[in-house]
Amino acid sequence: MKYWKLFCLSTLSLCLTVGCGDSAGSDQPDLGTVSGVVTMDGKPLPAVTVTFTPTEGRPSNGVTDEEGHYELGYLRDTQGAVIGTHKVSISTPQDAPTPPGQTYKDPIPAKYNAKTTLTEEVKAGDNTIDFKLESN
Sorted by where each begins, the domain ranges of the chain are 31-93+106-133
Full-prediction pTM beyond 0.85? no
Tell me which architecture the domain covering 31-93+106-133 has in CATH: Sandwich (2.60)
- Rounded to a whole number, what is the distance in angstroms from the first to the last CA of the chain? 83
C-alpha 73/C-alpha 94 separation (Å) is: 20
Q: CB of 41 within 8 A of CB of 135?
A: yes
Per residue of the chain (136 residues), give pLDDT as tens. 444 343 333 443 433 333 443 445 457 899 999 999 999 999 999 999 999 999 999 999 999 999 999 999 999 889 999 999 999 999 998 876 777 887 777 889 999 999 999 999 999 999 999 999 999 8
C-alpha 110/C-alpha 107 separation (Å) is: 9
C-alpha 105/C-alpha 120 separation (Å) is: 25
Q: CB of 83 within 8 A of CB of 60?
A: no
User: How many Cβ atoms sit within 10 Å of the Cβ of residue 88?
Assistant: 20
